[in-house]
Structure 1
Amino acid sequence: MNATPVVASASGLELSPADRLIRMPDVEAMTGLARPTVYKRLKDDPTFPKPVPLSNSKSRGAPVGWVFAEVQAWVRQRIALREVAA
């Protein structure tokens, strides 16, 4: 049986990695990239995960999150590319 990993939240809800949103400090920690580099990747790298708006605001600085599973997959892809290049 292949169970989907579940993450417990502070509210007691259980979310799968595909449903869990993370914020910038988590993206920085998972990718090893600094905040400005994350935004540069968003602009220049079509494979980098796109943020999810957390409000209806379109202004600069409006809150965003990233899908945990998408960031995780991007990191795994980078690791796989390293192994291919070696």
Structure 2
Amino acid sequence: MYYDVVIVGAGPGGSIAAKTLDDSNLSVCLIDAKPKEKIGEKVCGDAVGKEFFDFLHEKINLDYPDEEVKDRIDGIKVVVFGFECFK
């Protein structure tokens, strides 16, 4: 079988890229080492916003992996010596 695009890695970037390209009527093959049921568990960075999982649920009906949530963060404050503070 031939595809217009093959994406390796169904993490945050790969999943969004696959859905975006699929919406453009391109044939897309999304490949990941994990089975579909495990996509979303232990994603890169250890800090992925709930909005990403909401997006996946809306687009491909992937449930939010509550068992993977360790902490909820409402915001961050970045302070770099000699520069202003960003929130």
TM-score in same-fold range (> 0.5): no
Higher relative contact order (CA 8 A, sep 6+): 1
More helix by share: 1
TM-score, normalising length: structure 2: 0.22
Look at both structures and tell me which one has the larger radius of gyration over its CA atoms. 2
More strand by share: 1
